[in-house]
Structure 1
Amino acid sequence: MAELKPHRTITLSFQHMDDIEHVDDAIHKDISSATRCGDSLFVCCDETAGVDRLTPDGGWGNHTHFNLGDFIDLPDGPGGEMDIEGLDCDGQWLWITGSHSLKRGKFKPAEHDPVEGLAQMAKIKRDPNRYFLGRIPLKANPDGYAPVGEDGARRATWIELKKKSSKLIGWLEDDPHLGPSLTIPSKEYGFDIEGMVGRGMRVWLGLRGPVLRDHAVILELEMKVDGDGFLKPRRIDGDRRYRKHLVPTAGEGIRDLEVDGDDLLILTGPTGAGDGRSDILRWHGFMGETRSACVPPERVTHVMEMPYRGAVDHPEGLVNWPEEDKGVLVLYDAPAEARLPEPEKILADVWKLPG
């Protein structure tokens, strides 16, 4: 079968990491999510504590990095990674979430002998910056939208951050479906957020893991601002502060989410660390679902399968692209060399959704 081809490609141009404070990795090679607000395209690298804005310049460039630690008191400091895995623009608000996941130590053969490697692999690490979930005002400037701590009466708000714990994880600890996954590292089928959308004060979080009997999990929260100025989910499912939607995904985890009219587009991919298939699904009328339940199969349709390229070009970001009818922009992690035409540049694909 001939490989599917994108409708067109666009070039994204970034500053060199040495020119950006608190950035130690090449942003364009490690994109984890994306969203668009007008002519501002926001992307994030999961190795930083910030978001990055591109604007049209023939391709997309004029790169500006915004360090969230400039106006958020992050428990690991402004230089600690947030593992941002979800971005979404709702009007002039930018919703942001970290993965809320654990990570296992790595065996590095160049640094460890085999016995030391075994000890490293026994270490489970918790980065408190990863527990961020909040929304940030976007201020309209002549050069594009900028995330700020406040803009008039609008202020950045988030779920209260703790040095040694996560409030969201605490609310999930006794959950019969998700509780067992909370002590398991990401990419080993543990709890791992990798997509989000926000509309008003409703937020949907897509989980890469766990996957339950071929169903991926989307958590829905309805936020309020408490007396201390923090976001806090309301109790919306009995005593629980969230709804669970189990979406039939044929065993794939969620990599990103995007609202399309009344529907939710779901970018899927492997749950574990290995390579595998990636698809775009459509959950019809998702905002009308107001109870925890399994989503009926007839409510979820398969839109398209993304080309599989093995160890490279893993689809990670999904953005509606209004310049094309039924167009979406897909951005990739682990880019192939052919996707890197020049230093600090990467090619992203515009796909036209069938139907």
Structure 2
Amino acid sequence: MKKHLNLEFNGKYSINAAGKHVRDGLSTAIILEDSLWIACDERSSLERLTKTDKQTFGKHQSFDLKKYLELPGGADCEIDVEGLGFDDHYLWLVGSHSLARKKPKKSDPPEKQIKRLAKVKDDPSRYLLARIPMIRNRETGEFELHKSCAHPDIPNVKLHASQLVSSGEKNKLMQVLASDIHLKPFMQIPGKDNGFDIEGLALSKEKIYIGLRGPVLRGWAMILEVEIEESKSEQFKLKPIGEDGKFYKKHFLHLEGMGIRELRVVKNDLLILAGPTMDLDGTISVYRWKDAMKQQEAAIVHRKELERLFDVPHGSGETSGQDKAEGMALYDDNHVLIVFDSPTDKRKLSDNGVQADVYKI
């Protein structure tokens, strides 16, 4: 059972330098009371929509992340934000951490198209795990981002925008994963070729869960668990939490061949939006990993230990490559909101709107 919600964007903030509308590349979403925070995968901003009635989020405002974080890619960078989370007055975000292969252009001659398929792009700004203070404006009631601000509840404590310490052109997470027995062979493979590709972020107390769209290993998807400790005010470090002092734990889930697109914590459970790791039309489903928050050690979760809640329709035939469910937000205690990359014309509303779907869980 599902219903539609209308997302109304402001054309003033919605078109990037390449001419792409923000509604055409929605990648992750999170709801905080009447605010819907959303990201597009081809820009370096976050978008805030505010609930205007029972069926609509509008009053679009855009927040340039370069005002809050030090982005190694410079002014024209593309973060490729693929996960959002909120905890203790901080909005968290994670980039894809992936390589991207160039797409052939049909208008080019075959030789040039073939050459483009050999080119791989590496954008330093995709290697980002960060948090930004988010405080409610007492006058407007809106949640707002700050580079630095006073803690709203604890006197003499300041909150600072900060990010995981860098390691060359990448970050510490990529450094510690570079020699991992499961991940090492995939670190130089582009994301949509079943290479390393982050999609999904969830928070539970001190734990940070990072979902991998790829690689998928013989049908098994992977979630990384990390924790942080403070460093400088603008940076934080990974905390040793695994065996032999490792900075991460790995959880393997048999999602029937699918990779992870989004993660959300519901009490002690983890909801997982799963879909194809490669660039194709394929099954997209939502699963529940029951009591995931009680898991203390690395886990391997077989398919019968996962509850498959429902499937999400996707494009096919004339709409091949469209309506790809990419983001999932908790709408209320019993429903999730799903947002889509590459929406069909049927899903688009006027010049700047698009439909999202609400499913009962």
TM over 0.5: yes
For 1:292 and 1:55, the matched residues in 2 are separated by 39
1:157–1:317 Cα change, 3 Å = same
Q: Please give the per-residue CA displacement for 1:126-150, whole angstroms capped at 9, x wherever unaligned.
A: 1011001011111212151112212
For 1:56 and 1:82, the matched residues in 2 are separated by 27
SS of residue in 1 equivalent to 2:191: coil
Supply the AA of the counterpart residue of 1:245.
H
Question: In structure 2, what is the equivalent of residue 293 of structure 1?
Answer: 299
Q: Please give the per-residue CA displacement for 1:17-46, whole angstroms capped at 9, x wherever unaligned.
A: 567787852111110000011211100001
For 2:28 and 2:12, the matched residues in 1 are separated by 18
For 1:338 and 1:36, the matched residues in 2 are separated by 24
Supply the AA of the counterpart residue of 1:156.
A
Structure 2 residue 259 is matched with structure 1 residue 253: yes
Question: In structure 2, what is the equivalent of residue 86 of structure 1?
Answer: 83
Q: Please give the per-residue CA displacement for 1:69-120, whole angstroms capped at 9, x wherever unaligned.
A: 012121112431100000112242211000000011222132x322222222
Question: In structure 1, what is the equivalent of residue 344 of structure 2?
Answer: 336
Structure 2 residue 168 is matched with structure 1 residue 170: no
Question: In structure 1, what is the equivalent of residue 144 of structure 2?
Answer: 146
Supply the AA of the counterpart residue of 2:129.
L
TM-superposed CA distance for 1:167, in Å, is 2.2
Q: Please give the per-residue CA displacement for 1:223-245, whole angstroms capped at 9, x wherever unaligned.
A: 11124641211111123110000
Task: Name the stretch that deviates more: 261-270 or 141-150.
Answer: 141-150
For 2:334 and 2:67, the matched residues in 1 are separated by 37
Supply the AA of the counterpart residue of 1:208.
R
Question: In structure 2, what is the equivalent of residue 262 of structure 1?
Answer: 268
For 1:343 and 1:161, the matched residues in 2 are separated by 40
For 1:301 and 1:232, the matched residues in 2 are separated by 34
Q: Please give the per-residue CA displacement for 1:35-68, whole angstroms capped at 9, x wherever unaligned.
A: 0112111000011111110001121000011011
Question: In structure 2, what is the equivalent of residue 69 of structure 1?
Answer: 66
Alignment check: 8 A CA contact 1:32 1:43 kept: yes
Supply the AA of the counterpart residue of 1:40.
S
| Sequence identity percentage | 35
TM-superposed CA distance for 1:309, in Å, is 3.3
Question: In structure 1, what is the equivalent of residue 329 of structure 2?
Answer: 319
Alignment check: 8 A CA contact 1:245 1:293 kept: yes
For 1:161 and 1:46, the matched residues in 2 are separated by 22
Question: In structure 1, what is the equivalent of residue 29 of structure 2?
Answer: 34
Match of 2:212 among 197, 202, 207: 207
Question: In structure 2, what is the equivalent of residue 121 of structure 1?
Answer: 117
Question: In structure 1, what is the equivalent of residue 94 of structure 2?
Answer: 97
Alignment check: 8 A CA contact 1:201 1:224 kept: no
Alignment check: 8 A CA contact 2:194 2:214 kept: yes
Alignment check: 8 A CA contact 1:37 1:91 kept: no
Alignment check: 8 A CA contact 2:91 2:132 kept: yes
Supply the AA of the counterpart residue of 1:85.
E
Task: Name the stretch that deviates more: 275-284 or 291-300.
Answer: 291-300
For 1:98 and 1:186, the matched residues in 2 are separated by 12
Question: In structure 1, what is the equivalent of residue 48 of structure 2?
Answer: 53
TM-superposed CA distance for 1:123, in Å, is 1.5
Question: In structure 2, what is the equivalent of residue 235 of structure 1?
Answer: 240
TM-superposed CA distance for 1:327, in Å, is 1.1
Task: Name the stretch that deviates more: 139-148 or 150-159.
Answer: 139-148
Supply the AA of the counterpart residue of 1:347.
Q
For 1:191 and 1:341, the matched residues in 2 are separated by 34
TM-superposed CA distance for 1:189, in Å, is 0.2
SS of residue in 1 equivalent to 2:245: coil
Alignment check: 8 A CA contact 1:68 1:78 kept: no
Alignment check: 8 A CA contact 1:17 1:26 kept: no
For 1:299 and 1:245, the matched residues in 2 are separated by 13
Alignment check: 8 A CA contact 2:216 2:259 kept: yes
Question: In structure 2, what is the equivalent of residue 272 of structure 1?
Answer: 278
Match of 2:106 among 81, 104, 109: 109
Structure 2 residue 158 is matched with structure 1 residue 160: no
For 2:46 and 2:205, the matched residues in 1 are separated by 21
1:275–1:297 Cα change, 3 Å = closer
For 2:22 and 2:165, the matched residues in 1 are separated by 27
Supply the AA of the counterpart residue of 1:129.
S
Task: Name the stretch that deviates more: 61-70 or 163-172.
Answer: 163-172
TM-superposed CA distance for 1:304, in Å, is 1.2
TM-superposed CA distance for 1:161, in Å, is 3.7
TM-superposed CA distance for 1:163, in Å, is 6.0
